[in-house]
A and B are shown apart, each in its own frame.
Chain A
Amino acid sequence: MRVLAIESSCDETAVAILSGEGVVLTLESNLVRSQIDIHQAYGGVVPEVAAREHLAYLFPMIRQALVEARINDNEIDAIAVTAGPGLAPALRVGVEAAKALAWAWHKPLVPVCHLEGHIYASWLETSNPPQFPALALIVSGGHTELVFMKSHGDFVRLGETIDDAAGEAFDKVAKMLGLPYPGGPQVEQLAKLGDPSAFNFPRALLDKPNLDFSFAGLKTSVLYKLRENEASLDNAKFRSDIAASFQEAVIHVLIKKTARAIAEHSPKSIILAGGVAANLSLRHSFQALGATHQVAVHVPPFAYAVDNAGMIAAAGYYRALANNFVDPLVLSANPNLDIV
């Protein structure tokens, strides 16, 4: 089965063509038009800019994907699209385009949740996909959650952030340190040179017997540390110690909560998903966690961890196998779409 997928929920306009046979999922084309240059000028992800850019690039990218895959439209079996969650005006561009294509080409249409897509990045281009039951830690700019998967399409949320997402905490700490957008990679760079034990930032909810996260207090704590030490704000050692200690606090909580979820639910495999999975320290800690608990660890390559359409195609492929189709005339983008 061949799936064409479209992703436009936030920064990236992305199009992919995936060919699947059994569990072997091969990407014939995986195009991402990063909008980061444009957003840097605006200091954030701004929906109108995102929507305008998605619209400008989407159809040329679909054409290019077909050329790269050396196929024409009648060789596509299904169209998958991110239906949510995300920025409404940006999501709508992808959803409306997918509906139009599905209708014009007479192809079944598969709506995919963006978070589900992140999890399915671990099924791409591998001969050894995750075994069920699987536990996924999704960490991105808008989400921090633990999701348990008993089988394809069967998701249970075990816990989530009660305030800020981990990626948002990275972005806000970056802003406090005067670093440019996107903040996460900048904080990670700075943290490499710092001492992660220099400051003892709070680890929220670790004492609570649940699997929820909270990063708002950590953000406030970093803010106070910066205010107390205004004279050191330009001191390179101080800045990297702040970044390293902050990053350590985030990773510590993510790993401890994942460890608790492993103990409670005994998954066969653990999956790291979402844009923050690009953070190398987090990747290493996650690998070590799997080794300690003797569960298989799946951490997608960088290109599949950040927003892309290949992951939407992978999720769409399994939904299409289960005939999870929707009438193109009734699908609409849902900015609050939930994974379960």
Chain B
Amino acid sequence: MISHNAAATQAIAASLALRLHGGEVIALIGDLGAGKTTFVQGLAAALGVTSRVKSPTFSIMNEYAIEPTKAQLWSQNNKPAKLARLIHADLYRLQNDAELSALSLADEQRADTVLIIEWPNAVSVDLNPDITVTIDHLGEDERAITIVAK
């Protein structure tokens, strides 16, 4: 899909949110400035995260509560009841696999959780994502967004 601006990127992320039920691991690949945080902001809002989603580069891992009643996409009869949290991780600053184990990402992978991981290729461990989202720069505001499910 081609996005021409941040709002379109967020709309594409929202369309992905509609397919999530909990327990998914999403790898999010894209260069500096590709719009990865923008994408997660769209995903989070659609899922029902009401707090502000910010870059996790410094904190490495941010956790957000999902409030299904606040979801922008799900109708009240059609919402996945078990979705309770979104974890937004960023491996940008990790330089080796040993550092990954300290984050205990596997422990965070629960049926009520969507785990989205930026810079998954910073480590050589296979994070075994269910979905891989790739954002490529085409121009100043233009992005190609590719979503591949396992």
* Residue ranges of A at the interface with B (Cβ–Cβ < 8 Å): 42-49, 51, 85-89, 141-142, 160-165, 167-168, 171-172, 175-176, 216, 219-220, 223-224, 335-336
Contacts and interface: CB of A to CB of B under 8 A. Distances in A.
A66 B61 CA distance: 35
A164 B57 contact: yes
Nearest to A224: B140
B58 A47 contact: no
B149 interface: no
A43 B96 CA distance: 11
Choose among A43, A48, A223 the residue with the greatest number of B CB atoms under 10 Å from its CB: A48
Cβ-closest 3 pairs across A and B: A44-B93, A48-B102, A220-B33
Interface of B: 31-33, 37-38, 41, 52, 54-55, 57-63, 92-96, 98-99, 101-103, 140
Given A43-B93, A48-B98, A160 B52 contact: yes
Given A216-B55, A223-B33, A87 B99 contact: no
Nearest to B101: A48
Contact of B58 (A88, A165, A176, A220): A165
B55 A163 contact: yes
A44 B94 contact: yes
A42 B123 CA distance: 13
A45 B93 contact: yes
B103 A47 contact: yes
26 contacts: A43-B93, A44-B92, A45-B58, A45-B60, A45-B93, A46-B99, A46-B102, A47-B102, A48-B101, A86-B59, A88-B61, A141-B58, A142-B59, A162-B52, A163-B55, A164-B37, A164-B57, A165-B58, A168-B58, A171-B57, A172-B57, A216-B37, A220-B32, A223-B32, A224-B33, A335-B59
A44 B54 contact: no
Contacts of A48: 98-99, 101-102
A46 B140 contact: no
A33 to B, nearest CB: 20
Contacts of B58: 45, 141-142, 165, 167-168
Contacts of B52: 160, 162
Contacts of A163: 37-38, 41, 54-55
A168 B99 contact: no
A175 B37 CA distance: 18
